[in-house]
Amino acid sequence: MDTFLAALFSGTSRGAIYALVALGLVIVWRGAGVVNFAQMGQAMFSTYIASALIQNGNSYWVGFFVALFAGSILGALLDILIMRPLSNKKKTELLSSESMRAAVPVIASLGILGALQALAGIIWAAEERGFPAPAPQEGFSVASSIMPFTSFDLFVISIVAATLVMTTLFFKRTGVGLAMRATALNQEVARLSGIRTNFTRALSWAISGAASSLAGLLITPTSNLSPNTLDLVLIIGFTAAVVGGLDSPAGAVLGGFILGLVISFVTFYLSPEDVFISILGVLLVVLIVKPRGILGGKDARRV
């Protein structure tokens, strides 16, 4: 029973972080048509900024909020400086086919990832360093028995839940949110309605940047920080988004929790070595039943 609860709690708190990563990917995919492989590179970079601030004697929360801000600025800059010029080339014959439209930005984002990792190595050296947690990472003790979850787990779950609620409200209740949804669903109609799609695109990069920076801040206390530590988080987050449906923010969150729990239960009950094969199994089962993910809607391909 204790093992089960431990797996459940660690899976939920891990899953919450993967949900954030997947949500960030889905926002950029819908808003800009790009699978952004640089996302966790951006998160790594802003987590380093927080780490540097905290080491220089600032409080955790100064580092925390500066990192979120830096993450969103970096996201918007990448869109404006790299992805926007790239998407303006859509008229060229090469980018007229769907596969190339998806592949070329992926290559650009891999380039961004490489550049950010190298830059982080140059500025902060490659050695792993710890990153503080704002809440204790030891199990609660209630009546002298240690509970299988920590107050840091609770912190993670509640801050992610709050973020998800705020994001939903933003998209459903505000005009800018409506503009972003419209742009994601049908760019031409959005533009004809007077929506500045360049702005909404950059904004989706910024929001995604902030969400993934939050994920970086929440995962590094348990995984340490180095230029490469978040690579795996990106792959798992991407898988979560694919499992849930890349076109669906709710699906991304669902996929994140599913993967978090699968990873956690496999680690606790089988062995850590089986984790990736299990992820592959889950992915294949989901995609065989629903080729566009659990909440991804109908297969939009014709014929």
Partner 1 sequence: MLEINSLTTSFGSVVALDGVSMSVQESKITTVIGANGAGKSTLLRTISGLEHPAKGSITWDGKSIIGWKPEDVVRAGIAHVPEGHAVISELSVEENINMGSLFRRRVNKKDVAAALEETYHLFPRLQERRKQLAGTLSGGERQMLAISRALVSRPKLLLLDEPSLGLAPLVVEQIIDCVNTLCRSTGLTVLLVEQNANTALGVADHGVLLALGKVVADRPAAELKADSSLRAAYLGY
Partner 2 sequence: MRDVSSSLKNPSIIRRSLRRTILFVLFILVLGSTFEPYNQAQLAVVLIYFIAVLSVTILTGISGQISLGQGALMAVGGYSTALLMTNYQLSLWLAVPASIVGAGIAGALLGIAAARLSGPYLAGTTLVIALAIPTIANRFMSVFKGDEGLSVDVGYPPAWFTKAFGEPTYEAWQLYVVLPFAAIALFFASNLLLSRTGRMWRSIRDHETAAALTGVNFSRQKIYAFIVASIFAGLSGALYGLRGLVGPSVYPVALSLTLLTAAVLGGIRSIAGAFIGTVIVVFLPDWIDLVLKNFKLSEQVSNFMPALISSLLLILTVVINPAGVAGARHRKH
- The binding site for partner 2 (CB under 8 A) comprises 29, 35, 82, 85-86, 89, 92-100, 102-104, 106-108, 110-115, 117-119, 121-122, 125-126, 231, 235, 238-239, 241-242, 246, 273-277, 279-280, 283-284, 287-288, 291-293, 299-303
Distances (CA, A) of 234 to 31, 36, 57, 71, 241: 19, 9, 30, 15, 10
Hey, CA dihedral for 267, 272, 274, 280, is it positive or negative? positive
Q: Does 289 bind partner 1 (CB under 8 A)?
A: no
User: Which is nearer to partner 1, 187 or 278 (by Cβ)?
Assistant: 187
Residue 170 C-beta: closest distance to partner 2, Å:
24
Between 68 and 76, CB nearer to partner 2: 76
SS (H, E, C) 75-89: HHHHHHHHHHHHHHH
Q: Which stretch binds partner 1 (CB under 8 A): 35-43, 138-146, 172-180, 261-269?
A: 172-180
Distance CA 107, CA 230 (A): 18
CA 131 – CA 127 distance, rounded (Å) = 13
Instruction: Select from 34-42, 104-112, 187-195, 263-271 the region that touches partner 1 (CB under 8 A).
Output: 187-195
Of 192 and 288, which has the nearer Cβ to partner 1? 192
Residue placing its CB nearer to partner 1 in the complex, 14 or 201? 201
Using the rule CB under 8 A, is 182 a contact of partner 1? yes
Task: Identify the residue among 178, 235, 250, 287 touching partner 1 (CB under 8 A).
Answer: 178
The size of the interface with partner 1 (CB under 8 A), counted in residues, is 17
Query: Which of partner 1, partner 2, none sits in contact with 45, Cβ below 5 to 8 A by type?
Result: none
Supply the minimum distance, in Å, between the C-beta of residue 174 and partner 1: 10
- List Cα–Cα distances, 247 to 22, 94, 161, 244, 252, in angstroms: 11, 25, 20, 9, 8
Q: Which is nearer to partner 2, 157 or 242 (CB)?
A: 242
Pick the piece of the chain touching partner 1 (CB under 8 A) from 18-26, 155-163, 194-202, 230-238.
194-202
Q: Which of 166, 164, 174 is nearest to 250 (CA)?
A: 164
Residue with tokens 């070329």: 104
- Binding flag, residue 84, partner 1 (CB under 8 A): no
Q: Where are the beta strands (DSSP E) in 137-237?
A: 139-142, 145-150
Among 189, 232, 280, 285, interactor with partner 1 by CB under 8 A: 189
State yes or no: residue 202 binds partner 1 (CB under 8 A).
Answer: no
Contacts of 288 (CB under 8 A, 6+ apart): none
Count of C-beta atoms within a 10 Å radius of residue 213: 32
Q: Roughly what angle, to the nearest 10 degrees, separates helices 249-269 and 2-32?
A: 150
Binding site for partner 1 (CB under 8 A): 175, 178-179, 181-182, 185-186, 188-197
